[in-house]
Amino acid sequence: LICTRNRVPSYFGVSFSFITPMAVVMATDGVGGALCGIIAAGLVMVVGAGVVKAIGTGWIDKVLPPVVTGCIIVVIGVGLSATAINSVMFDGGASETFDAVGCLIGFVTFIAAVIASSWFKGFLKMIPVLIGIVVGYLVAVPFGYVDFTPVLEAAWIGLPSITLPTWSLNGILVIAPIALVLLVEHIGHLMTVTNLSGEDCNQYLSSSLLGNGLGIMASGALGGPALTSIAENIGVMGLSKCYSTRVFWWTAAFALIIGGFCPKLAMLFYSIPTCVLGGVSLMLFGLIAGNGLSLLVSEKVDFNENRNLMIVASSLIVGIGMMTTGVSVPLGSFEIPGLLLAAILSVVLNLVLPKEKEELVQC
């Protein structure tokens, strides 16, 4: 918010892309070594912000036209669908057995959020996700899906745990390159916010990347994980139609002062069943995918042109297929996730495939 001067409604959360490389580094250099790599990844993002600042954002329209950005947005939304389905039907992947009760709770959560978004008025219409979670939580209690023991045992006031980084060349070499994944995610999410809000957030790309990089460095310095812009929040903004950055200041203050020093509140959040979170995720991820399709329609992407069809078909199949199955392409200690490969594929095809010339009809 500071770096973008309150122009980009977004916040950062934990990036799953770092799990594997962090595990590799922690096995040899411990948590401190992994934190060193996270700080280095943040530095890479800062350098990326400087490059964007130097060359401007004019390249976005050429490298990332609507046919490419629409695909990336669809891949983000549909690619996350497996996470939501696993949360609802298989307890977040913790169980291999179909959870019928959890599926029912997730469905009730989903329906409650849809009803709030579609039929409620005023303030209640702006908080469908919160309403869905509350309804799902209450339904889950009598089924025994909520364990209040950790909430009751947790203290009201407590200090957060801070772990300091230690120097690790291995951590830097293994973790820092993952920042390239964050760059792609960040650009895709920013384009989604632009399409949803109508505000041209792309012009603040360098400032937003700088904020992301500095946030990662601060997180790593205090023992936290690498951060990326969060797709779930984009879905929330799309539902609530609230893009005010003032809300994010209040949210950040609440998270820091109340959430950071109240273990009981943290345990209350942890007590929310996975199936309830999966229920609202179904709607949020679907909204993101729908927004990508809407972009393709509103920009009148012509699918009668073979190049557009090839770009969309190739990137969607590769990206969605890899993300929903959890497959990555190993490249040494680095892994290329589905979103990054789909983005690279769509960008390259857009640049190399010839544009079809309009045929002149002679009368």
Query: Three-state DSSP class for 57?
Result: coil
Q: What is the helix (H) or strand (E) element at residue 229, kind and residue range?
A: strand 227-229
Provide mean pLDDT across the span 54-58: 80
Which residues are within 8 A (CB) of 344 and not within 5 positions of it... i.e. 6 or more apart? none
Question: Residue 250 — left, alpha, or beta (φ > 0 → left; ψ -120 to 50 → alpha)?
Answer: alpha
Amino acid in the structure at residue 74: V
- pTM of this structure: 0.71
For residue range 107-122, list pLDDT tens digits in order.
Answer: 999 999 999 888 888 7
Q: Is the pLDDT of residue 21 over 80?
A: no
Q: Where are the beta strands (DSSP E) in 249-355?
A: 329-331, 334-336
Which residues are within 8 A (CB) of 11 and not within 5 positions of it... i.e. 6 or more apart? 229, 230, 233, 248, 251, 252
Residue 32 to residue 51: CA distance in whole angstroms:
29
> Residue 316 in contact with residue 68, Cβ under 8 Å?
no
For residue range 136-172, list pLDDT tens digits in order.
Answer: 999 999 999 998 999 999 999 998 888 999 998 888 8
Closest CA to 208 of 342, 48, 36, 16: 48
Q: Is the pLDDT of residue 292 over 60?
A: yes
Residue 111 to residue 284: CA distance in whole angstroms:
13
